[in-house]
A and B are shown apart, each in its own frame.
Chain A
Amino acid sequence: MELTDIQKKILEEVADLHKIPVGAYNIRANGESVGRNSSANIEITSKTDVSGIDIKIKPGTKNESVHIPVVISQTGLKENVHNDFFVGEDSDVLIVAGCGIDNCGSSDSEHDGIHRFYIGKNARVKYVEKHYGSGAGKGKRILNPVTEVYMEEGSYCEMEMVQIKGVDDTERVTHAELKEGARMIVHERLMTHDDQHAVSRYDVELNGEGSSADVVSRAVARDRSYQRFDAKIIGNAPCSGHSECDSIIMDNGTILAVPALEANNVDAALIHEAAIGKIAGEQLVKLMTLGLTEQEAEEEIINGFLR
């Protein structure tokens, strides 16, 4: 597998990968698979109808991981990828995705991806997705991920979605359907700067008795950037749902938080919280009394907030 230095750097950013990962992996660079490994329990195959892969995880697979990072370093590349994950019953796996675009050119580079998760009974999935952009070119770095999650009885899914830097335009759509006793936890962290634009939509259907979802977003909008967070939780059974959008606004940023709840069952307990505000003055003061400048204090507060 041959990767350029820039590609290696992006891999580090999005997947914490310094070398070839252990276990199953598929590394996609500039629209092609440049390295792939299936393991005894996790099989990765290319789709034949569209661009993308199928990841099949055997029932009962425990403590294994799949890495499927995507790097784009070619200006003007636009791709559309479909990846499907079939997570067998009773398995317990870590899935690390992520996409980094380095665009030094003048044409836009864009990665649109659909990830569909079919999570079997009592299976546990931890999903980590990092998005990152770099490069000084005029061309935009655009990422539009669609995530669909179908959860069987008693399954558990924890999703960590992070976009901290360099992505000019993003529209994220996450849709989930949960059966009896399934639990979903989402932890999204988003920072936009300069003239970036980010929209994140969730709709989570709690269809089974005892299902639950917790969607938490922490967001920072700096400079002239724009963010919109739409989270809708739908309770169709006795269930519990919670969404939270906690945002820091700076400079001339804009944040629009649109939390929505829909209950179609008298025993659906749904809560949402949304808060937008600037950095608390007394937090700055405390760090300044420790010797930090106002800018340093701001950085520490934001780094902590987005941790």
Chain B
Amino acid sequence: MLELKNIVYQVEENGEGIGILNDVSLVIPDGKLTVITGPNGGGKSTLARIIAGVVKPTSGKIFFNGQDITDMSITDRARLGIGFAFQQPVRFKGIRVVDLIRLAKGEKKLSSSDACKYLAAVGLCAKDYINREVNSSLSGGELKRIEIATVLAKKSALSVFDEPEAGIDLWSFQNLIEVFDGMRKNIEGSSIIIISHQERILQIADEIVLVKEGKIDCQGTCDEILPKLVGTESAVKSCGVIDLWKGGDN
């Protein structure tokens, strides 16, 4: 179980503190798939980075299975069982797909059939990708899938995926939903957080959390929250493009 208590995150701009997260308290239960959604700039990725330890909160506490991890390093949190798939995955020079998957599994050697499994799960043909460098030659969607594969390979007690569907084509999107559905079926003893704007992903959630303007707007089961979101202003706001085509004024 992950528990965030009164998390505040502020950044300095022109000598003024701007609140990115304003007193966020949240419980992510075990054995559940929690989807965090909300408008762009609401603070979802910041929340994920705070969970993974990439940024430290200005104030507040984080507990993982009862242990205070607020001051724990990224490495120690990873070893404790927190996995994190970036919204914008990192590119390297010279590090290959197989290296990342091997490092994620924490093994010295990795059989190609083992690596294959994870790549196949994200819809990549392993033999075409396994020896590719994770560099700028990969397309955005390919990079995104490899990022997800590394987190699948890591097998964490808590896996956080930041907009995993972004940049993934329609055909593979179905495949991705099945991957998360599969993870949820075998979730026992672990939990999953997916940050997403996609209704299809919201539909497979156990819990939904709506983050807006650096605050938790509401949290509840999928059945409670989803009907409120679909068709409301906040859902439309996170789809600005559609607004435009509808002749919206923003």
Contact = CB atoms under 8 A, between A and B. Distances in A.
Contact of A290 (B78, B93, B94, B133): B78
Interface string B82-126: 111010011011111001100110100000000000000000000
Q: Is the interface of B mostly helix, strand, loop or mixed?
A: mixed
A305 B52 CA distance: 26
A189 to B, nearest CB: 10
A304 B73 CA distance: 24
Contacts of B99: 300, 304
A48 B2 CA distance: 78
B94 A291 contact: no
B79 interface: yes
Interface string B61-88: 0000000000001110011001110100
Contacts of A292: 75, 78, 103
A265 interface: no
A298 to B, nearest CB: 12
Contact of A291 (B79, B89, B100): B79
Q: Chain B CB within 10 Å — which of A286, A289, A300, A303 has the most?
A: A289
Contacts of A286: 86, 89-90
Interface string A191-230: 0000000000000000000000000001000000000000
A301 B83 contact: no
Contacts of B89: 286
B230 interface: no
Interface string A259-293: 00000000000000000000010110111111111
A303 B75 CA distance: 20
B54 interface: yes
B154 interface: yes
A307 B132 CA distance: 13
B75 A293 contact: yes
Given A289-B52, A289-B84, A300-B103, A306 B75 contact: no
Contact of B154 (A280, A291, A305): A291
Interface in B140-190: 150, 154
Contacts of A300: 95, 99, 103
Q: Is the interface of A mostly helix, strand, loop or mixed?
A: helix
A246 B93 contact: yes
A306 B94 contact: yes
A291 B78 contact: yes
Contacts of B75: 288, 291-294
Contact of A289 (B83, B92, B95, B96): B83
A287 B75 CA distance: 9
A305 B94 contact: yes
Nearest to B86: A286
B90 A288 contact: no
B83 A304 contact: no
B208 to A, nearest CB: 25
Contacts of B73: 288
B74 A289 contact: yes
Contacts of B154: 290-291
A289 B93 contact: no
B54 A285 contact: yes
Contacts of B104: 290
Contacts of B82: 289
A112 B169 CA distance: 57
Nearest to B135: A304
Contacts of A289: 52, 54, 74, 78, 82-84
Q: Chain A CB within 10 Å — which of B74, B83, B84, B104 has the most?
A: B74
Q: Chain A CB within 10 Å — which of B82, B93, B100 has the most?
A: B93
B193 to A, nearest CB: 14
B103 A287 contact: yes
B78 A288 contact: yes
A283 B90 contact: yes
B74 A288 contact: yes
Nearest to B96: A304
A307 B92 CA distance: 12
Contacts of A288: 73-75, 78
20 contacts: A218-B94, A285-B54, A285-B74, A286-B90, A288-B74, A288-B75, A289-B54, A289-B82, A289-B83, A290-B78, A290-B103, A290-B150, A291-B79, A291-B106, A292-B103, A300-B99, A301-B95, A303-B94, A304-B94, A304-B96
Given A290-B103, A301-B95, 10 more contacts: A283-B92, A286-B86, A286-B90, A290-B78, A291-B78, A291-B106, A291-B154, A292-B75, A304-B94, A305-B93
